[in-house]
């Protein structure tokens, strides 16, 4: 039956996560295992290790989420999984488990686009947007501005021509000698810094358009970095970098709202957890009179809840490519 809860499985990168979403009762349960400590000593995600660890964790997590929701597998109405984009070996773990469950339980198998799930994540909150809205998707692999008219009805307004914004955070953090994952570490360091000390560019804001470019900012930090920086230099660099990035994102969001004529902005993806970005956008929202929506912090970064929700929403609208088992490392929205 279409109104039964959907199990969602996420294994696209370095989090193994499962959740169950029900159309009437909402999110019933979500569980997550982060591999961050596993990859930390390598300074980034090692794909082969990620795949192996997904295999080691996924069974326990599926069991756990069913227990937490108090559901027997027979009560499920569909199995959603992240089909891409992501690390291919990691994706295949979730896809295989999902296909096995769907076959054994005779349930529809629902492939989910990871970025679509990110942009629908604010729908898991009590205060949620209504269609249409503009979405800023900012993660480790993507920087996208999207006009969202409904589930499955998206128009790409702008994207990064080089590094994704999360990638820029991570690479700059590495330059400053911070441990992986760099984004949140850099944000923490920036709290103690003076964001006006170094003048970094706001790339591509001096000409029309909604595309981004962040690789130059990282280079600007590198060339500004003193030979032997002290802690204050590093904090000031982190803060100045963060100011430049968040200003740039805020300017482009405003332009996208103007161009589309929509009055709501959704910000999602890992960098959406950045407090300075949230602060700046909230300020603009008050000033310019648009409504701003964020998923809670835990649903900004990768999670199973957004996969379960996206799978449920696709299915509820009859837009799920039923029965398809596939994985794809690259997949345009």
Residues that bind ligand KG4 (CB under 6 A): 13, 139-141, 166, 169-170, 181-184, 187, 269-271, 273-274, 301-302
Q: Is 236 in the site for Zn ion (CB under 5 A)?
A: no
Which DSSP string do the residues of 279-297 spell out, in sequence order?
A: HHHHHHHHHHT-EEE---G
Please, which residue, 7 or 165, has the CB nearer to ligand KG4?
Answer: 165
- Size, binding site for Zn ion by CB under 5 A: 2
Please, which residue, 141 or 193, has the CB nearer to ligand KG4?
Answer: 141
Shortest separation between residue 264's beta carbon and ligand KG4, angstroms: 21
Q: Taking a C-beta distance cutoff of 8 angstroms, is the pair 239, 194 a contact?
A: yes
Q: Which helix (H) or strand (E) holds 224?
A: helix 215-224
Please, which residue, 142 or 255, has the CB nearer to ligand KG4?
Answer: 142
30 annotated as a binding-site residue: no
Shortest separation between residue 273's beta carbon and ligand KG4, angstroms: 4
Other Cβ atoms less than 10 A from the Cβ of 285: the count is 19
Q: Quick one: what does residue 327 bind among Zn ion, ligand KG4, none, with the CB cut-off 5 to 8 Å set by partner type?
A: none
Shortest separation between residue 115's beta carbon and ligand KG4, angstroms: 8
134 annotated as a binding-site residue: no
Please, which residue, 187 or 285, has the CB nearer to ligand KG4?
Answer: 187
Q: Is 93 exposed, middle or buried (CB count within 10 Å of its CB: 0-12, 13-18, 19+)? A: buried
**Residue of the chain from 82, 139, 143, 327 that contacts Zn ion (CB under 5 A):** 139
170 annotated as a binding-site residue: yes
Alpha-carbon gap, residue 310 to 314, rounded angstroms: 6
Q: Quick one: what does residue 166 bind among Zn ion, ligand KG4, none, with the CB cut-off 5 to 8 Å set by partner type?
A: ligand KG4
Contacts 24+ apart (CB under 8 A), 255-262: 255/210, 256/134, 256/136, 256/145, 256/147, 256/157, 256/158, 256/210, 257/134, 257/288, 257/290, 259/157, 259/210, 260/132, 260/134, 260/147, 260/157, 262/132, 262/133, 262/134, 262/147
Stretch that binds Zn ion, among 76-84, 133-141, 208-216, 292-300 (CB under 5 A): 133-141
183 annotated as a binding-site residue: yes
Q: Which residues contact 330 (CB under 8 A, 6 or more apart)?
A: 84, 85
Please, which residue, 11 or 264, has the CB nearer to Zn ion?
Answer: 11
**Residue of the chain from 302, 312, 315, 333 that contacts Zn ion (CB under 5 A):** 302
- Token pair for 128: 């949620």
Alpha-carbon gap, residue 61 to 145, rounded angstroms: 33
Q: Quick one: what does residue 262 bind among Zn ion, ligand KG4, none, with the CB cut-off 5 to 8 Å set by partner type?
A: none
216 annotated as a binding-site residue: no
- Token pair for 238: 């982190």
Cite the annotated binding site by residue number. 114, 118, 137-141, 170, 183, 274, 302
Site residues (vs Zn ion, CB under 5 A):
139, 302
């Amino acid at each position: 039956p279409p109104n039964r809860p959907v199990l969602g499985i996420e294994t696209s990168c370095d989090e193994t996560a499962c959740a169950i979403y029900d159309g009437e009762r909402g999110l019933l349960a979500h569980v997550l295992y982060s591999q961050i400590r596993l990859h930390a000593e390598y300074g980034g995600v090692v794909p082969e290790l990620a795949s192996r660890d997904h295999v080691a964790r996924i069974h326990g997590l599926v069991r756990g989420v069913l227990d937490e929701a108090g559901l027997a597998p027979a009560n499920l109405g569909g199995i959603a999984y992240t089909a891409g984009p992501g690390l291919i070996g990691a994706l295949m773990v979730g896809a295989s488990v999902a296909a096995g469950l769907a076959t054994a339980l005779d349930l529809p198998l629902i492939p989910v686009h990871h970025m679509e799930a990110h942009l629908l994540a604010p729908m898991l909150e009590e205060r949620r947007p209504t269609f249409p809205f503009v979405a800023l998707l900012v993660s480790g692999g993507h920087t996208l501005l999207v006009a969202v008219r409904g589930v499955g009805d998206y128009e790409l307004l702008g994207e990064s021509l080089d590094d994704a914004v999360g990638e820029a955070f991570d690479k700059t953090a590495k330059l400053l000698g911070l441990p992986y994952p760099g984004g949140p570490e850099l944000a923490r360091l920036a709290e103690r810094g003076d964001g006006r000390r170094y003048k970094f560019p706001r790339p591509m804001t001096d000409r029309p358009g909604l595309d981004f470019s962040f690789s130059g900012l990282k280079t600007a930090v590198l060339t500004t970095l003193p030979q032997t920086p002290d802690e204050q230099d590093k904090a000031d660099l982190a803060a100045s970098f963060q100011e430049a990035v968040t200003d740039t994102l805020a300017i482009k969001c405003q332009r996208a709202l103007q161009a589309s004529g929509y009055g709501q902005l959704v910000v999602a993806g890992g960098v959406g957890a950045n407090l300075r970005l949230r602060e700046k956008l909230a300020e603009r929202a008050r000033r310019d009179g648009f409504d701003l929506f964020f998923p809670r912090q835990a649903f900004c970064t990768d999670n199973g809840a957004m996969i379960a929700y996206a799978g449920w929403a696709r299915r509820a609208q009859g837009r799920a490519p039923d029965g398809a088992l596939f994985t794809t490392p690259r997949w345009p929205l």
